């Protein structure tokens, strides 16, 4: 009887340890839908919302120069460019009731999303989050200090890419509906 009790206690303790490690390490399951992300991030302050969105996106983030996602399944499975991720963040942020827009660097070589509650703002740059009470200073500093990633396409590359132009035209048509 004592051995069974010790085994049961051991299993319970191991389960607790595994659960604690998982919680502390921030392991997040990949969401299966946009609604799952919205439900997870609903009702939070703007900075916590930005962090929540980023944590969810990190579970399936892929930077992909050759994919032009048209819906959640495509961006989740195949990824996209900085512009695609920015649009994704904007749509999610607006669904959560925040002001949000896409901003590009001066040379138009990089795009990122900004989310705001009117007082505080956060930049969502693919997998990174930066927040401040001074939104304009936050954006200016980010653009000024942005270091071009050699894996990003330049604006000229994008303008010369027929698939990109066609996808952009389609995205413009679909903008009212957002990425579903």
Q: Which tens digits make up the pLDDT trace of 86-117?
A: 999 999 999 999 999 998 876 777 889 999 99
Q: Which tens digits make up the pLDDT trace of 52-93?
A: 999 999 999 988 888 889 899 999 999 999 999 999 999 999
Q: Which tens digits make up the pLDDT trace of 17-50?
A: 544 444 433 567 999 999 999 999 999 999 999 9
Q: Where do the domains of the chain lie? A: 1-30, 31-174
- What gap in Å lies between CA 62 and CA 65, rounded to an integer? 10
Question: What DSSP letter does each residue of the chain carry, written as one string?
Answer: -HHHHHHHHHHHHHHHHHHHHHHHHT--PPPSSHHHHHHHHTT--HHHHHHHHHHHHHTT--B-TT----SHHHHHHH-B-HHHHHHHHHHHHHHTT-EEEEEE-TTS--EEEEEE-SS-EEEEETTEEEEES-HHHHHHHHHHH----TTSPPHHHHHT-HHHHHHHHHHHHHTTT---
């Amino acid at each position: 009887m004592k051995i069974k009790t010790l085994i049961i206690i051991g299993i319970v303790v191991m389960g607790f340890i595994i659960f604690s490690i998982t919680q502390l390490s921030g392991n997040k399951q990949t969401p299966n839908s946009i609604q799952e992300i919205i439900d997870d991030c609903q009702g939070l302050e703007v900075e916590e919302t930005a962090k929540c969105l980023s944590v969810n996106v990190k579970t399936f983030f892929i930077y992909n120069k050759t994919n032009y996602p048209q819906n959640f399944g495509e961006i989740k499975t195949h990824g996209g460019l900085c512009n695609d991720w920015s649009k994704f963040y904007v749509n999610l942020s607006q669904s959560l009731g925040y002001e949000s827009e896409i901003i590009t660097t001066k040379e138009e070589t990089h795009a990122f999303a900004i989310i705001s509650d009117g007082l505080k703002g956060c930049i969502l740059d693919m997998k990174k989050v930066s927040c401040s009470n001074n939104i304009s200073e936050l954006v200016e500093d980010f653009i000024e200090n942005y270091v071009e990633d050699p894996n990003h396409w330049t604006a000229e590359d994008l303008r010369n890419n027929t698939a990109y132009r066609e996808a952009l035209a389609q995205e413009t048509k679909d903008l009212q509906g957002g990425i579903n």
